[in-house]
Chains A and B, each alone.
Chain A
Amino acid sequence: MPQEQHSAYNYLRPSKKFPNVWCSGCGIGIVMSALIRAIDRIGLDKDDVALVSGIGCTGRMPVYLDFNTMHTTHGRALAFATGLKLAKPRLKVIVIMGDGDALAIGGNHFIHAARRNIDMTAIVVNNSIYGMTGGQYSPTTPLDARATTAPYGNIEPPLPVCELAIAAGAVYVARSTVYHAVELDRYLEQAIRKNGFSMVEAVSYCHTTFGRLNKMGSPVDMMRQIKENSLTLASAEKISTEERTTKIVRGVLHDVEKPEYTALYDQLIARVRQSIESKSPQKEVTRDGQEFRPYRNPVSG
């Protein structure tokens, strides 16, 4: 039977109705299958994985997967995930969001989750449109593109997703596309393995709304356009900065080490309890092991 042969089926909820709810040819299904491959390769226990999503087409992903799944409110998935991770640090928390969910209404939570460097993986499926509600422009819609709320062309410049994540403090940031699905699942694997806030931008397309409004053709056509428009980091360095802004640059854009939030909080708890036990609350020990000294402004002293 096919179910026994496709290893991905081990990760699907057998009681859920399939085929999935997305349009025929939608890239979100490709991201889901890449995510399954990544989790399978790492060998995570299904009970140890939590998948949290926001609202939108991408937000419909968790229900299909046999993990601890939570479909939350628009833009706030990272906040829910923060609470869940703090309550159960053992869980591998993966947060899946669309571009509008993560960067418009959720922009603030995106920045702060990255800033805290809390151990979770944010996957932003970027199809540059608000698909679920019929095709309104999003923070990543290109200039001059049409959308239902930009009938004369979009006049808002798109937000650089990966640069924002890096600036906010994420420790691992990568971008790939649904055409490069195998590369995508490799980055997802690295992102999930990484301890800290990792972000993977999965560039996709919405042929039903964006494609139709901008006359870009079928899923196959849009898939081909993504392929033609994308290049690796190495190739991107060889072209002009101006040209680079029109291309999709794939690769691992950032990969550093930084102290992770839940570990820092556990250390804080240990410090506090130790200072109580040693019955010398006056001698508060700070994060770097020194005695507490009043803060000195490094500039004015």
Chain B
Amino acid sequence: MSDIAVNEVQKVPVIESTPKPKHGPRGRVIIFGMWCKGCGLCVELCPTKVLALGENEHPIVVKPENCTACHWCDTHCPDLAIVVKKIDE
């Protein structure tokens, strides 16, 4: 791989594309099921659709990689049943 790149660099300038977006979530969602009343606010209004309604109306994390740690869910949960922890680099 590197041999070819070196050759290609010598012949044709390679324009580096913009850095690939970092994969992986910025936040980790913890759901405290015992307090959740299943109102669905977090599920419906999560901007990146991290959550979905699971069985017994409680949210489950379906797309953990999408979490941007915007904290919409944990600032809007009326029951303090969900919290987002920022994932440190």
Chain A residues engaging chain B, CB cutoff 8 angstroms: 2, 5-6, 8-9, 12, 18-20, 22-30, 32-34, 37, 178-179, 181-182, 185, 218-220, 223-224
Inter-chain contacts of B34 with A (CB < 8 A): 18-19
- Of B78, B79, B81, most A-chain CB atoms within 10 Å: B78
Query: In the bound complex, do residue A25 and residue B30 qualify as a contact, i.e. CB atoms below 8 Å apart?
Result: no
User: In the complex, what residues of B have CB within 8 A of residue A223's CB?
Assistant: 41, 45, 76
The residue in chain A whose Cβ has the minimal distance to the Cβ of B83 is A6
Min CB distance A64 to B, Å, is 10
In contact, A2 and B32 (Cβ under 8 angstroms): yes
A18 B76 Cβ-Cβ under 8 A: no
* B-chain residues with CB within 8 Å of residue A179 when the two chains form the complex: 76
Residues in B neighbouring A19, C-beta threshold 8 A: 34-37, 79, 81
Contact at A181–B76, with CB atoms within 8 Å? yes
How many contacts between A and B, using CB within 8 angstroms? 74
Chain B residues within 8 Å of chain A by Cβ, number: 23
| A25 in contact with B40 (CB, 8 Å) | yes
Contacts of A6 in B (CB 8 A): 30, 32, 74, 80, 83
Say what secondary structure dominates the interface of chain B.
Answer: loop
Q: Which of A24, A178, A179 has the most CB of B within 10 A?
A: A24
- Please indicate the chain A residues that have their CB under 8 angstroms from the CB of B81 in the complex: 19
B77 at the interface (CB under 8 A from A): yes
- Whole-angstrom distance between the alpha carbons of A203 and B38 in the complex? 22
Q: Once the chains bind, are B75 and A220 in contact (CB under 8 Å)?
A: no
10 A-B contacts, Cβ less than 8 Å apart? A18-B35, A24-B39, A29-B78, A33-B77, A33-B78, A181-B75, A181-B76, A219-B39, A220-B45, A223-B76
Contact between chains at A8 and B80 (CB < 8 Å): yes
User: Other than the known A29-B80, A33-B80, what 8 A-B pairs have Cβ atoms closer than 8 Å?
Assistant: A6-B30, A9-B80, A19-B79, A20-B78, A25-B39, A178-B76, A219-B39, A223-B45
- Distance (Å) between the CB of B41 and the closest chain A CB? 6
Residues in A with CB closer than 8 Å to B39 are 24-25, 219-220
CB distance from B36 to the nearest CB of A (A): 7
Which residue of chain A has the shortest Cβ distance to B82 in the bound complex? A6
Does B63 belong to the interface (CB within 8 Å)?
Answer: no
**Contact status A37-B79, CB under 8 Å:** no
In the complex, the answer to whether B37 meets A25 with C-beta atoms within 8 Å is yes
Residues of the A chain whose Cβ atoms lie less than 8 Å from the Cβ of B78: 20, 22, 24-30, 32-33
Contacts of B83 in A (CB 8 A): 2, 5-6
A12 to B79, CA, bound (A): 11
Q: How far is the CA of A185 from the CA of B45 in the complex (A)?
A: 19
Q: With a CB–CB cut-off of 8 A, which chain B residues contact A18?
A: 34-35, 79
Q: Tell me which residues from 60 to 82 in chain B have a Cβ below 8 Å from any Cβ of chain A.
A: 71, 74-81
In the complex, the chain B residue whose C-beta lies closest to that of A11 is B80
In chain B, what residue has the closest Cβ to A184? B75
CA distance A224 to B45 in the complex (A): 9
| CB-CB under 8 A for A34 and B75, given A8-B80, A25-B41 | yes
Report B1-32 CB contacts with A as 1/0, cut-off 8 Å.
00000000000000000000000000000101
Residue of A2, A12, A30, A218 near B76 (CB, 8 A) is A30
How far, in whole Å, are A179 and B78 apart by their CA atoms in the complex? 11
**Contact A219 B41, beta carbon cutoff 8 Å:** yes
